[in-house]
């Protein structure tokens, strides 16, 4: 292992026994509690020899929960321990359970289930038949390497679930392996972990760890004090019960074409249903504070309906919230961002775009940064600095360069038989964005499934600090949207894409801002009530909204981006242009963003529309998820299929055969979306041929601005001038998700045969402080890729 924080240093950094930030309401002992008694230690030693982790856990429970009586003070005063080894939160969910946790004494559960919303310290027990430090990868040939990887993945899923279910700034988690243990602290920048130590022999260190924790304030324990957990007696709790029902029967259908009576304002039924589901039985309820420019504002939320899987980076969570002042439902985005004075918040960008009269973007209500920053970068030295193994300071990263360079390229071409994704944003990272209606349990299942990460991960990227600081941020907008997958027909889908291309064009032309992350999760459907001038009636119309502008950049001369606005360039791998993936130092141009709109359209078409493509899963993997890795350069590059489809101006399936979208009669070649793609592919071919020329061809091209694409879409979607033939769109071309796993998978044998021909990517088992690099997990095609050199989840990369 390159770095371990010794347990004494960990205690000094995070659970000091003498702290100026002690809990004012704690029941903590005035004097340090006594060490673990010999009787408890002997019990652990005896049962540990037999490898019975349950008995070790029960010994801990006996020690942490002394029998109530005069002078009965446990090692963590004011707190008690509860086991949950035998029961889950809900039945038949496949949810992993943490084996035990420390709770405040007045919140100790008695039902044997893990109560994620009130747990303070998570404890995972292992049998301890052999010493096992899950973070020690110093011996690459160690037979226990796979087990350590599994344990790390297991505890990471616990920490991720804690962040998803609670409002936390940090999480403490201990791994007890028989007589040995290590302490860990997690935040959005990464993990600080102690070296494994024998707590039977070092009982004083264990005593100081637990007593110090008991003396910490809620803030230092990682509790977000701007989020108040509500109880049934609270007035806001009762308000939430009231507004979850449409008592006056005034909600309207979101179905496009619905005639709407009255003057408004209106609430769409799907919005109230999302809110109602988020506060269902057993769901915690919170009052969240947003420190806006006009003063604190408060919003009521239940469970998030979008959770970015994993722990890295922004950790976005999205809610349907109730505005206590405006008396309406709104969209609340809770995320972590880089605290950089040169980087505007998403709210500032939205205000700038609104002033520039940019269409089809969210309407901001308020936003604000919280006084909360991650602390991991203060304690984790940069990887590769051997001299800093026990120093608590930030150093420059010195990347390891011990990759095997037997081949010039390592190509990801393997497949997993694990389940496929059925959402755009299985990330993630993604990043969930406005309106992606995947509820918490779905996001957690995705985060915890035993599958490999989708697409390449950023852990081996060069010039990237090991741990980055993030600051907590909340954004409120008016629109609660539907995810893009809810479109009803190909024509409606392309109309939504056109709306977002218009938004992009307005931003570039009117405000000098380029989005820089056009993806499937950032294009949403916003049901809107509009007045029909033909008959004077109000109807529901589905409009496209381009969201998630936090990665946007200001344009400078000749349409190039200004590096200072975003110090880290980010892309969503599956939808980024092939050119940017291969040339990450180049400025993002309009042509790259228009190519991203194409990839989103192709993704949705292959997944949700009629076509004759063979083996959808593998075809989508090859186009969207595939990549090449050059060990000598420590860099990822665009996969072969995506790049050559742009350079060659054509699409093909996994068998290198051309495929077509089908009309209502099942005939190929007549679908307007195929005609749109054919024209765009010709434009891409011209662009890539010009880019590949030396020197590059600088003649004007159709993709230099939005005009040609908008004219093309208008010609296919709008009514034609008198005398011209109208474009005929199929009415039944939307189908069920074609990546959903089915009981009968007729192509299993074909998949295995193709997989056998693939070159397997080698996995690196590097150790080091587990800090997460900034990126946004993306919507994946659902075709699971083999793990590249790191096992960090997500596929949003530094570019």
Q: Specify the higher pLDDT residue, 140 or 752.
A: 140
Tell me the pLDDT tens digit for each residue of 371-400. Answer: 999 998 887 654 433 333 333 333 333 334
User: What are the beta bridge partners of residue 268?
Assistant: 252
Q: Looking at residue 354, what is its pLDDT? A: 97
Reported confidence tier of residue 19, pLDDT bands at 50, 70, 90: low
Confidence of residue 143 (pLDDT cuts 50, 70, 90): low
312 pLDDT band, cuts 50/70/90, is confident
Query: What confidence category does residue 234 fall into, taking pLDDT thresholds of 50, 70 and 90?
Result: very high
In percent, the amount of the chain with pLDDT more than 70 equals 73
505 compared with 31, residue with greater pLDDT: 505
421 versus 480: the higher-pLDDT residue is 480
- In the prediction, which pLDDT does 242 show? 96
Least confident of 272-276, 326-330, 738-742: 738-742
- For residues 512-526, average pLDDT: 95
Q: Does residue 48 contact residue 178 with C-beta atoms inside 8 Å? A: yes
Residue 699 lies in a domain: no
Residues above pLDDT 90, as percent of the chain: 52
pLDDT tens sequence across 186-201: 999 988 999 999 999 9
Comparing 142 with 553, the larger pLDDT belongs to 553
Residues 615-642 have a mean pLDDT of 92
Q: How far apart are CA 673 and CA 661, in angstroms?
A: 7
Report residue 462's pLDDT band, with 50, 70 and 90 as the boundaries: very low
| Phi-psi map region of 650: left, alpha, beta (phi>0 left; psi -120 to 50 alpha) | beta
In a domain, 108, yes or no: yes
More confident: 456 or 767: 456
pLDDT per residue as tens digits for the range 698-722: 788 999 999 999 999 999 999 888 8
Residue 697 lies in a domain: no
User: For residue 71, is it within any domain?
Assistant: yes
Q: Looking at residue 610, what is its pLDDT?
A: 94
Q: What are phi and psi of 47, to 5 degrees?
A: -75, -30
* CB count in 10 Å sphere of residue 541: 15
Instruction: Indicate the pLDDT class of residue 666, thresholds 50, 70 and 90.
Output: confident
Which one has a higher pLDDT value, 767 or 677?
677
**Would residue 52 count as lying in a domain?**
yes
Rg (CA), the chain: 27
Q: 450 pLDDT exceeds 70?
A: no
How many angstroms separate the CA atoms of 358 and 393, rounded?
Answer: 45
Q: Assess whether pLDDT exceeds 80 at residue 758.
A: no
* Residue 556: per-residue pLDDT: 74
Closest by Cα among 298, 300, 303 to 368: 298
Domain total in the chain: 1
Which of the pair, 170 or 381, is modelled with greater confidence? 170
CA distance 155 to 148: 11
Stretch 446-465: mean pLDDT: 35
Left, alpha or beta for 185 (phi > 0: left; psi -120 to 50: alpha)?
A: beta
Low-confidence winner among 76-80, 211-215, 565-569 (lowest mean pLDDT): 565-569
Over residues 423-437, the mean pLDDT reads: 30
Within-domain flag for 385: no
Instruction: Go through 243-280 and write b for each residue having 16 or more CB atoms within 10 A of its CB, e for each that does not.
Output: bbeeeeeebbebebeeebeeeeebbbebbbebbbbbbe
Across 286-300, 327-341, 401-415, least confident range: 401-415
pLDDT of 686 strictly over 80: yes
Assign 173 to helix, strand or coil.
strand
Q: Is the pLDDT of residue 503 over 80?
A: yes
Residue 488 lies inside a defined structural domain of this protein: no
Cα 174 to Cα 182: distance, rounded to the nearest angstrom: 6
- Using an 8 Å Cβ cutoff, are 398 and 634 in contact? no
Q: Which pLDDT value is given to residue 614?
A: 87
b/e 409-431 (16+ beta carbons within 10 angstroms → b): ebbbbbbeeebbbbbbbbbbbbb
> Which of 21-35, 207-221, 290-304, 589-603 comes out lowest in average pLDDT?
21-35
DSSP 387: G
Give the domain range for residue 169: 7-214
What's the average model confidence in pLDDT over 278-295? Answer: 93
pLDDT in tens, 297-308: 999 999 999 988
| Residue 428 banded pLDDT, cuts 50, 70, 90 | very low
In sequence order, which residues have a C-beta less than 8 Å from that of residue 26 and are 6 or more positions away?
77, 78, 214, 215
Q: Which residue would you say has higher pLDDT here, 558 or 673?
A: 673
Residue 524, phi then psi, degrees to nearest 5: -125, 165
Position 51 pLDDT exceeds 70: no
- Give the pLDDT band of residue 696 (cuts 50, 70, 90): confident
| pLDDT at residue 725 tops 80 | yes
Residues in a beta bridge with 307:
317
Residue 486 has pLDDT above 80, yes or no: yes
pLDDT over 80 at 592, yes or no: yes
Contact 642, 579 (CB under 8 A): no
Give the mean pLDDT of the chain.
79
Cis link prior to 265 (omega < 30° from 0)? yes
Q: Is residue 740 part of a domain?
A: no
Mean pLDDT, range 151-168, rounded to an integer: 88
């Amino acid at each position: 292992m390159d770095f371990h924080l010794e347990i004494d240093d960990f205690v000094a950094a995070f659970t000091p026994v003498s702290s100026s930030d002690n809990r004012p309401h704690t029941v903590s002992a005035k004097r340090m509690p006594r060490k673990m008694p010999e009787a408890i230690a002997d019990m652990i030693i005896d049962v540990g020899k037999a490898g019975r982790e349950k008995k070790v856990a029960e010994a801990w429970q006996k020690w942490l929960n002394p029998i109530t009586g005069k002078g009965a003070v446990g090692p963590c005063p004011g707190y008690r321990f509860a086991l949950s080894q035998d029961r889950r939160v809900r039945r038949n969910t496949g949810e992993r359970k943490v084996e035990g946790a420390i709770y405040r004494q007045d919140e100790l559960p008695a039902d044997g289930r893990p109560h994620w919303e009130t747990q303070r310290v998570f404890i995972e027990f292992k049998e301890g038949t052999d010493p096992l430090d899950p973070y020690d990868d110093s011996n690459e040939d160690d037979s226990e390497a796979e087990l350590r990887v599994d344990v790390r993945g297991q505890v990471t899923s616990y920490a991720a679930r804690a962040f998803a279910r609670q409002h936390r700034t940090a999480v403490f988690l201990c791994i007890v392996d028989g007589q040995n243990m290590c302490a860990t602290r997690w935040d959005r920048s990464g993990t600080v972990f102690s070296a494994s130590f024998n707590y039977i022999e070092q009982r004083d260190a264990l005593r100081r760890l637990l007593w110090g924790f008991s003396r910490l304030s809620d803030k230092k324990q990682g509790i977000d004090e701007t989020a108040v957990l509500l109880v049934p007696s609270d007035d806001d709790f009762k308000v939430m019960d009231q507004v979850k029902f449409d008592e006056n029967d005034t909600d309207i259908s979101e179905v496009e074409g619905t005639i709407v009576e009255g003057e408004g304002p209106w609430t769409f039924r799907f919005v109230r249903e999302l809110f109602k589901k988020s506060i269902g039985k057993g769901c915690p309820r919170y009052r969240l504070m947003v420190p806006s420019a006009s003063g604190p504002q408060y919003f009521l939320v239940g469970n998030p309906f979008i959770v970015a899987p994993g722990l890295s980076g922004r950790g976005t969570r999205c809610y349907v919230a109730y505005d206590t002042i405006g008396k309406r439902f709104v969209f609340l985005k809770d995320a972590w961002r880089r605290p950089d004075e040169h980087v505007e918040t998403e709210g500032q960008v939205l205000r700038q775009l609104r002033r520039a009269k940019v269409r089809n973007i969210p309407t901001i209500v308020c936003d604000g940064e919280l006084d909360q920053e991650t602390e991991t970068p203060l304690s984790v030295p940069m990887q590769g600095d051997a001299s800093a193994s026990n120093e608590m300071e930030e150093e420059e990263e010195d990347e390891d360069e011990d990759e095997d360079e037997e081949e010039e390229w390592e190509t990801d071409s393997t497949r997993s038989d694990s389940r496929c994704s059925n959402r755009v944003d299985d990330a993630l990272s993604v990043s969930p964005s406005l309106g992606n209606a995947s509820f918490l349990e779905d996001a957690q299942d995705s985060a915890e499934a035993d599958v490999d990460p989708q697409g390449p991960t950023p852990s081996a990227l060069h010039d990237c600090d090991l741990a980055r600081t993030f600051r907590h941020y909340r954004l409120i907008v008016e629109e609660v949207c539907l995810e893009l997958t809810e479109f009803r027909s190909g024509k409606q889908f392309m109309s939504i894409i056109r709306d977002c291309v218009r938004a992009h064009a307005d931003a570039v032309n009117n405000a000098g801002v380029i989005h820089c992350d056009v993806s499937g999760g950032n294009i949403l459907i916003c049901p809107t009530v509009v007045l029909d001038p033909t008959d004077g009636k109000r109807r529901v119309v589905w409009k496209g909204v381009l969201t998630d502008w936090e990665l946007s950049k200001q344009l400078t001369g000749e349409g190039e981006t200004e590096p200072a606005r975003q110090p880290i360039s980010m892309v969503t791998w599956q939808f980024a242009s092939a050119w940017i993936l291969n040339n990450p130092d180049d400025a993002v141009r309009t042509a790259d963003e228009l190519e991203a709109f194409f990839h989103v359209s192709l993704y949705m078409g292959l997944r949700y529309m009629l076509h004759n493509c063979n083996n959808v899963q593998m075809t989508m993997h090859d186009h969207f998820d595939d990549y090449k890795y050059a060990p000598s350069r420590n860099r990822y590059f665009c996969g072969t299929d995506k790049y050559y489809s742009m350079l060659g101006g054509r699409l093909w399936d996994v068998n290198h055969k051309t495929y077509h979208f089908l009309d209502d009669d099942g005939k190929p070649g007549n679908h307007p979306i195929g005609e749109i793609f054919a024209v765009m592919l010709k434009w891409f071919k011209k662009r890539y041929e010009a880019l590949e020329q030396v020197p590059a061809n600088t003649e004007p091209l159709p993709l230099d601005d939005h005009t040609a694409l908008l004219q093309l879409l208008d010609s296919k979607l709008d009514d034609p001038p008198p005398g011209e033939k109208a474009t005929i769109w199929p009415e039944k071309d939307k189908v069920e998700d074609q990546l959903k796993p089915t009981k009968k998978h007729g192509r299993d044998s074909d998949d295995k045969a193709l997989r056998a021909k693939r070159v397997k990517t080698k996995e690196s088992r590097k150790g080091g402080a587990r800090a997460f690099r900034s990126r946004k997990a993306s919507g994946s095609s659902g075709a699971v890729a083999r793990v590249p050199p790191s096992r960090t989840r997500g596929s949003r990369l530094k570019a």
